């Protein structure tokens, strides 16, 4: 009745993406981010050192940072630690007492803890819209796009996406910022949403400024950070062209959210576009 121990699996990558039936354009000024059910209780079904869930948290953190930088509101859902029988109702038949047996695990995981100004919605059913002010808050703020991340892809996340669609809110399901009971169920959820109620995207599609997706994009980003008019070759030392340590530290902090092992020392050791692109284009943690 309760959730069994969950195993790591390879997160969806570009080649796993389903064909989207819609080609909605992401508009930051019309969007909001939903971090769905990322509570200690739901995440604890994976091992503490599970590389997959670590990468999901990194990807959600990346999107949250992007949203903070672009004035995109951030919403969380969280089940309460205490749920009266009449409120939990049929969830008891399907899942047992769930979180109510472990109220100390109610909080959002530390890495994604809400900031002042974020909104935490009380979660009662699979859909984040059920018995919550989410629809009104989105529409009152002129938002009609919802970025969906979190757990579990084929239950609450998929249901929320479909419910959003039925309320004329465009859901963007982020394939590599979700986790599920299994890879098969994860991919099923993506296929369902892509074909029936939303658009499925990757983290990098929504936050390209944080993580360049080509050497050309990296070069363009670096050129914006240089003081002089001279342009370095891809194998030339960027420090010689005015790239200082503060800017490198900022880049390291950004890129660490996608490539978890990148740090300032790694960048300063070989500060060239060639070397940095080699670091950025490696297989990510979820492929290990």
- Looking at 123, 154, 170, 186, which residue is catalytic? 123
Active-site residue flag, 37: yes
Main-chain phi, psi angles of 206, to 5 degrees: -95, -15
Question: Annotated catalytic, 163?
Answer: no
d(CA 83, CA 124): 9
With b for 16 or more beta-carbon neighbours within 10 A and e for fewer, the 52-70 pattern comes to: bbbbbbbbbbbbbebbeee
Burial 264-281 (b: 16+ CB within 10 A, else e): eebbeeebbbebbbeebe
Q: Find the distance separating the first CA and the last CA of the chain, reported in whole Å.
A: 31
Residue tagged active-site, from 36, 154, 170, 186? 36
Catalytic residues: 36-37, 123
């Amino acid at each position: 009745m309760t959730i069994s121990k969950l195993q790591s699996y390879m997160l969806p990558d570009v080649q796993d993406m389903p064909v989207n039936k819609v080609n909605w354009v992401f508009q930051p000024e019309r969007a909001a981010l939903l971090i769905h059910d990322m509570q200690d209780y739901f995440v604890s079904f994976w091992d503490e050192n599970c590389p997959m869930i670590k990468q999901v948290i990194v990807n959600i953190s990346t999107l949250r940072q992007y949203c903070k930088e672009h004035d995109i509101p951030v919403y969380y859902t969280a089940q309460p630690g205490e749920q009266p029988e009449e409120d939990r109702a049929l969830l008891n038949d399907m899942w047992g007492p769930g979180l109510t047996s472990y109220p100390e695990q109610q909080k959002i995981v530390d890495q994604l803890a809400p900031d002042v100004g974020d909104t935490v919605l009380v979660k009662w059913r699979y859909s984040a819209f059920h018995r919550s002010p989410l629809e009104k808050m989105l529409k009152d703020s002129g938002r009609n796009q919802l970025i969906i991340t979190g757990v579990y892809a084929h239950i609450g996340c998929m249901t929320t996406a479909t419910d959003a669609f039925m309320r004329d809110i465009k859901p963007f399901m982020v394939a590599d910022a979700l986790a599920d009971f299994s890879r098969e169920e994860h991919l099923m959820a993506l296929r369902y949403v892509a074909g029936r109620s939303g658009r499925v995207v990757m983290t990098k599609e929504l936050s390209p400024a944080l993580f360049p997706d080509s050497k050309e994009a990296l070069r363009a980003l670096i050129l914006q950070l240089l003081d002089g008019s001279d342009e370095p070759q891809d194998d030339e030392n960027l420090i010689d062209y005015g790239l200082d340590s503060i800017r490198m530290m900022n880049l390291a902090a950004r890129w660490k959210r996608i490539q978890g092992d990148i740090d300032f020392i790694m960048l300063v050791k070989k500060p060239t576009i060639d070397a940095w692109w080699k670091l950025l284009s490696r297989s990510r943690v979820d492929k290990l």
